A and B are shown apart, each in its own frame.
Chain A
Amino acid sequence: MRAWEATPALSRALLVGALLVGGALLFGEPVLVVLAGPLVVVAAFGLVHRPTSVPVVRGRLDHVSLYEGQGTRSRLDVTEADGVEHVTRVSAQAPYVALHPASGRVGGLVRDGVPVLEISPRRWGRRTLGEERVALTSPWAGYRWGPVLEHGAEMSVLPASAPFDNAADAPQPLGLVGSNRSRRTGGGAEFAGIRPFHPGDRLRRINWRVSLRTGELHVITSPAEEDSGVLLVVDALADFGRSGGVGGAASSLDVTMRAASALAEHFVRNGDRVALRVVSGQGGQVGSGAGRRHLRRILGQLAVVRPARLRDDEGGRLRLRTTGGTVVIVLSPLLSEVMGTATATLQRRGLPVLVVDTLPEHVGDLGSEGTDPLVADLAWRLRRTEREQFLTALAREGCPVVAWRGPGTLDDVLHRLARRAQLPQARVR
């Protein structure tokens, strides 16, 4: 209702006041006027302060893009607020959005500032806040405007980066300038060896102690430091398990997104070029790039991912196009044949591929409501059996699979891949 209307309190005061005054007239009872007097005065003040403005309310968020678990404030702009004394806001609950106060109901005087609601998204993705009802009240609570319905704002919630660090170098750095030790010598900082001076060597690399001892100029060599290409492949074909939001139980897609976010942040911070490919019916990819801005693009893409199956004709021709030397990290719960096939294809091409298993340890009851628990349990056991077969097949191909466990998850695997990269290889093209 977008008009000022009398409140029940004003109606009550007017009704009681009028009837008591009328009763006093009819029965000649002055005591009724004494009882009615204060109510009549309250009603009179309410009538006198009837607003004439037509308020406009608009909700806004302090931040529309947040990491899950962070908080922001939902504010309400009230324009044409002449004659507004009190504001009441009632926000509906939305999935994975925590409110403070928890009831989503706040009220207060305009002179103290329009009351704000504190909001904290508890899970990554596009979150639509609950619809909000807003009511304005005039001085002396004579008239009320609303409640009017305000549609909930949308916010982009980035997956929280799980703590991650990696001490291993990329297996095949093939870039320009970075922090990964290359097999070729160059202008790095670490010691690789000492060799006789060649024309073109930098004078500051001359090792004078060895040169004086041998009588010939010798220089210190060091491995080049190069950046590496990293392709993150995110399996968003389905979401297994139930998500309790940040700090709660994690579904497979929660683990996938948080791991992808942590890996992207780590590699970008390391100066590497990172690309993203989302495997789902919805699709989505971010090209190779570096820098904080590129990281925001990747996180933004992760925030809009929704689980969706591939079309039947898409599954057979899934190609994860990537260039040589790129480290491919596949984040998947490994419950899809499509992902197994695509991963094995990359492995056969000789690319350094590693799979991060994102299936949570304690995936709960996966049966939907109305499904026979026995049937659901049987189906789940079949899926687990298929998954074991995928894992065996990948191991046979020499593709390492590690469960996501945060810091150090990839250290050992990347060390092994780096050693393997130095060996002669046969590639299938």
Chain B
Amino acid sequence: MVLLAPYAMAQSPPPFPAESYSGPNTAQGGQSSPEMWRDIRRGKSGTVVFPRPEGGVLIQSAGETWRLRHDTTVAYGGGLLLAVLGVAGSYLLVRGRIPIKGGRTGRVIPRFSLVQRIVHWFAAVLFVLLAVTGLLLLFGRYLLPPIIGQHAFALAASASIEAHNLFGPLFIPAVVALCVTFVRGNGYRGVDFTWLLKGGGFFGGHASSLKYNFGEKSWFWWSVVMGLVLSASGMALLLPSVIGDRSVVQLANLAHAIAALLFIAFAIGHIYLGTIGMEGALEGMTRGTVDENWAKEHHDLWWAEHKTSATADIRRAEVAAAERGDRAVWEAQR
């Protein structure tokens, strides 16, 4: 219970007829003090019996601003996700799945090592769990009660917050491992901007690329930055008592929601292209190898470096990929 000594209110005001009431019946003698309430509204701190951070603040007005910004974030964020889904769906309808134009050769090239794939899927599993529970917490209260009812939504929200808080801290080492494991080859080069100017070949023509193209590199750096913002803001939300200052926690809440929405929006594109959007892409991350024609069509400069390691012995290539990824070629070149 907050006790504001200068503004202490009477515990039990005496009864009075409503028509004779002219202001709050307080220790100030029944007079309302605009100055006092203005100070309180501005967050002026009083004195409390048990001191603690912000314990003397009666009204934290920044909460209203935070609520407004939070609602705005929800509205724009929802629009962003719908727009990205719409673009991906429209592209699929118009262009269909991007095939391997030259067909499969039956020869594969090692692309991702076992360590890279384990780190990727560990982060991916956590990302999906966190995204689903996070979206439910962010949008659920607006969308779900009319469909599943208040009780079922309360149950889903309770489950989601527990899962989100549990899996969240695991995402921090996953992001760090992702950064360390994939940073090599993800620095921007001149060829990446040529790729960008050609629209990545998505609208016709061919755009040359190294192991990672401009989009993949941007996704990598986007994941690292958003992952770090989510990690820092998430820990602030998980341990608010450690932070102490409520305005920092409110800022962390907004940063967490915005970073998550931006992360998920990009991830939709990544997941789309990695699965239904492009033939031959997913196996690079499941089996560690890609078809030679896929490599030639999407990463021709990387293929030129690695074409000598192409083999029709798929199982042997998978084992080689698991042990070394495509490092063997780089090391031989050095």
A binds B: no
List A residues at the B interface (Cβ < 8 Å). Answer: none
Tell me the B residues contacting A by CB distance below 8 Å: none
